[in-house]
Structure 1
C-alpha cells in the first residue's frame, strides 16, 4: 500500500484535481427557475430539445425523458410506441400554432404524457415553460376496467382510451381484480402527501371501494404497497403504471421500496461482518492471554 501510494503520487497529486462544481455544469435556465417555484412534491417535466438524449433536465426536475443506457424495457417500449408520437405531435402543434390557446389545445390529445403527470414543457430553456393544464396528477380513480389478453392488446388499447376513465389491465393480473366492480364516486379524493425516492405516501377518502391508478412506474421486484400499515397487493395498469384497490373510507397509502433479496443480503453481510469482528477480537484476546500466561510461567 505504501509502495502504491508513493509511486502513484508521482503521476497523480493535488495539482491534478479540481473540486467538482456541478452548479456550473448544470446552470439553471430561465425555464428551470420558473419550474422550481412550483412547490408540489412531484410532477414531471418534458424537455423538447432532444428529450431522450439530454441530461440537464433531470438535474433539477423529474423528467419524462433523459438519457440512460439501461432503461427499463417496458418504459423504452412506451417511448417507442406512445411517447415519441405524442412528442412529435406537440412539436408539430408548436410549429403550426398561431396563439397560445392553439398550443394548449394540442396537449389535450397526449393521454400517455398526461398520465405520466407531465406538468411543464420546456421548449426554449431561456424562456418560461408552458404549463400543461391537462396533466392527470399523481393519482386518480379509474371508473372502468378493460381487461386485455396480452401485451400487444394492452398497447393497442392505449391508442384509443382515456386513462382518467379507463384502466387497461393485462389478464395476468385478473386475480387482483377478482370480485371488484367499479362504482363511480364523484366525491372520492386521493392526493400525494409526501414524496421520497423510496417512500411515496398518499391519502384517500372514498364512499365505496375504488381502483386507484398511480402515476409511478410499476416495478415489482422491490416496491410494496401498504394501506394503513398493512401490506396490500398492487398490480400493473396502463402498461407502466401502478394500480391498487382502495377500500372505502379514509386511508393512508404508502409505497415503499423494500427489495427482499437486498435486505436479506444486507442482513447477512452485517451478521457476517459482526462474526468476523468478534473472531478477530477473540483472536487478539486469546493471543494476549496466551502471551501473559507464558510470561508468568517464565517468571516462575
Structure 2
C-alpha cells in the first residue's frame, strides 16, 4: 500500500514563481522539494513569490466533463489540482463565477481560492466542438446541394 501519495487536490502554502517558460527543474527535482507545501507558477501568471494559508479539501466529485472540489479556508489559499493544464477547453469557476487558473509545476492546474467555504468547478467546454460540427454539417449539405444542382442542370449526353 502506498502511504505517501498525493491527493487529487490540495492546498500549498508557498508559491514560487519562475521566469520564462523554463521550470526550475533543479529545485523541482531536489530531494528537499515537497510538492505538498510548494508549487511553481510562471511569473507572468502570478507576479512574485507568495505565501498562502493552507486550506482543506472537503469533497471531490468527478464526472466525464466536470470536476468539483469543495474547499474550506480561513484566508486566501492556492489550490493545486492534479489534472493536466489545458486552458483551451477547461474553464474554472468558483461558486459559479469564472476565474483564471494557472499552469502549476509545469503540467497541472492551480488557482487562488478566496477565504471561506467554496465550490470550485472545472467544466469541459465543448462549444467549439459543437460549432465545428455545425459548420461541417452545413458545408456537407451545401456540397451535396451543389452536386445535385449540377447533376439536374447538366445536359443529357
Could you tell me how far 1:190 is from its partner in structure 2? 1.2
Hey, what does 2:15 align to over in structure 1?
145
Hey, what does 1:229 align to over in structure 2?
96
**Structure with more contact order per residue of length (Cα contacts < 8 Å, sep ≥ 6):** 2
The answer on whether the counterparts of 1:138 and 1:192 sit within 8 Å (CA) in structure 2 is no
Structure 2 residue matching 1:156: 3-state secondary structure: helix
Which residue of 51, 65, 68 maps to 1:182?
A: 51
Structure 1: gaps (5+ residues): 1-130, 280-300
Hey, what does 2:39 align to over in structure 1?
167
* Aligned-partner Cα distance in 1 for 2:67–2:127: 18
Structure 2: gaps (5+ residues): 146-157
* Superposition map of 1:203-222 within 5 A: 203-222=70-89
Tell me: CA distance 1:256–1:157, structure 2 relative to 1, closer, same or farther (3 Å). same
Q: Deviations over 1:206-250 (max 9, x none)?
A: 111101001111112211111111111101111111001111111
Q: Larger strand proportion, structure 1 or 2?
A: 2
Structure 1 residue matching 2:24: 3-state secondary structure: helix
Q: Larger helix proportion, structure 1 or 2?
A: 1
Tell me: CA distance 1:266–1:248, structure 2 relative to 1, closer, same or farther (3 Å). farther
Tell me: CA distance 1:220–1:183, structure 2 relative to 1, closer, same or farther (3 Å). closer
Hey, what does 1:90 align to over in structure 2?
none
Hey, what does 1:252 align to over in structure 2?
119
The answer on whether the counterparts of 2:13 and 2:52 sit within 8 Å (CA) in structure 1 is yes
TM-score norm. by structure 1 comes to 0.42
Higher Cα radius of gyration: 1
TM-score norm. by structure 2 comes to 0.76
